[in-house]
Structure 1
């Protein structure tokens, strides 16, 4: 009997030891790995983070010193006004009817506290053409390149058609129509119409309308066939229009009545290169009163130049 109890106890002890060993193995599987038995006494048992931890280098110290420095203010250098493709200070323009150029007249920016002077450099070139009978046919306008502007017009001997931004032409009704040729020009077309008395003179009333195609009224769209059959074709429904400017007495206002530019006729000395011969009204001056984007400034200057061309103030060439 004693031998039986001893054997039973020994079997229980072996079973308990096996269970404890199994539990220890399960604990080792669930527990995170421990490298303490493989490390020296002065090393940490936590594995290093190789993605975020590294020893500082010389580049780190240079970057740290640069970022904490208060003596240097790093800024993006700006182009000088004479070299920049778009000069926001150029708010006054003068028309040279002898060379068919539009200059940025000397002056200062009225909306800025600085007193930076605008250099009188050419910004635009005009290319007018007439019919064989001498009537105005078309007018092209392009922006000059910076190197052309710095030459002050002396080296501009031809017109580059590929750089044309707007083309002005006369319609059957005597109105002026502008069409853009660049990505930043207005889509559709712009029309200058006379209103009131005065015609194309400085005191005459003018309106500048922008026409863009309205897809909702497109007669060629299949979705509008039912309406075309019911109400018939109406060409005015194919276009949406917006009033851009009104001009009266040399003052240009936008559609909301806010003054955007003023114009005047000034007395200058020839074209700047001929023995000081005075020609009254040889240049017409336009001052932009509000800051506008380059595309809108191009349009405003084109409309102003188109009126000078329509009035016969440009040296025109035969077609």
Structure 2
């Protein structure tokens, strides 16, 4: 047994825990707050698989967060309807568009048709493609791409009433299915040299249920045509006799587009609503003539 140090009283009591930390704590740890050597420590073993901590790899390229990515890294910009698109090509069941005839064609619209039991065209629906669908269809791929038609996104519904009832009028009826489309409906009237598209809306002024129209109703009776307003929307006229090229004019006689071999080129600026209506009328005319098959 070792002798007691100078100035230390002989006692049978063991050294205290605090005295032990004071004598041996500095040797056990050199940190500012040494750990308790008498307490059991937990050991965290590494879990199998990828680590839970993120570490910077020295070999990885670094780039400032404020630096803008290059044009090769970002996909091309897409809008639901590019206002600069003035050239449209009909490649059933898609309608492609570009700024000019020499520009890159981008799928913008999707068509879907329903035929009658006698294989006659009965219904034609048109909708806009979504962002992902347009980008996916624009990528070059050897395998043919196909997208399913979404009925909830239908802009215009074109109905050929003669497919079921040959005596019904009008022959072609176009109805908007969204709030941003034309109100009422559009009727097609064919002549020997042109296709006329009439916009039919309700005339609220001549509504026979209004109190101010009761005397006229009692005197002349009810006429359904008086409650409707008819306005010439578009006219597709042949450029020359026996020519398949068409010149599209609005109700004022101003040429708005030119049709040539399955393509439509706008010559004036149109609002998005009238542009959708023009494309629906164009698709209806091609569909009725039999040039729109897939």
Structure 1 length-normalised TM: 0.59
Q: Structure 2 CA distance, aligned partners of 1:178 and 1:218?
A: 23
Local SS of the residue matching 1:300? helix
1:33-182 → structure 2 map (5 Å cutoff): 82-97=77-92, 100-105=93-98, 107=100, 118-152=103-137, 155-171=145-161, 172-173=168-169, 175-182=171-178
Contact 1:130–1:138, Cα closer than 8 Å, also in 2: yes
1:222-241 → structure 2 map (5 Å cutoff): 222-241=211-230
Aligned to 2:269: 291
Q: Structure 1 CA distance, aligned partners of 2:131 and 2:105?
A: 13
Q: Return closer, same or farther for 1:96/1:225 CA change in 2, 3 Å cut-off.
A: same
**Moved segments of 4+, more than 6 Å:** none
Q: Number of matched residues?
A: 202
Q: Structure 2 CA distance, aligned partners of 1:189 and 1:246?
A: 16
Local SS of the residue matching 1:216? coil
Equivalent residue for 1:188, pick from 166, 184, 209: 184
Q: Which runs of 5+ in 1 are unaligned?
A: 1-79, 109-116, 198-203, 266-283
Q: Return closer, same or farther for 1:287/1:139 CA change in 2, 3 Å cut-off.
A: same
Aligned to 1:5: none
Q: Which runs of 5+ in 2 are unaligned?
A: 1-74, 139-143, 162-167, 239-245
Q: Structure 2 CA distance, aligned partners of 1:185 and 1:87?
A: 17
Could you give the per-residue CA deviations for residues 46-96 of structure 1, whole angstroms, max 9, x where no partner exists? Answer: xxxxxxxxxxxxxxxxxxxxxxxxxxxxxxxxxx98412221221111111
Contact 1:175–1:194, Cα closer than 8 Å, also in 2: no
Q: Structure 1 CA distance, aligned partners of 2:212 and 2:145?
A: 55
Contact 1:128–1:309, Cα closer than 8 Å, also in 2: no
Structure 2 length-normalised TM: 0.64
Local SS of the residue matching 2:281? helix
Q: Structure 2 CA distance, aligned partners of 1:179 and 1:173?
A: 15
Could you give the per-residue CA deviations for residues 253-309 of structure 1, whole angstroms, max 9, x where no partner exists? Answer: 1111111000011xxxxxxxxxxxxxxxxxx10111111111111000110001111
Aligned to 1:256: 252
Would you tell me which structure has more helix in proportion to its own residues? 1
Residue 278 of structure 2 corresponds to residue 312 of structure 1: no
Q: 1:176 Cα deviation (Å)?
A: 1.4
Structure showing greater relative contact order (alpha-carbon pairs closer than 8 Å, 6 or more residues apart): 1
Q: 1:189 Cα deviation (Å)?
A: 0.7
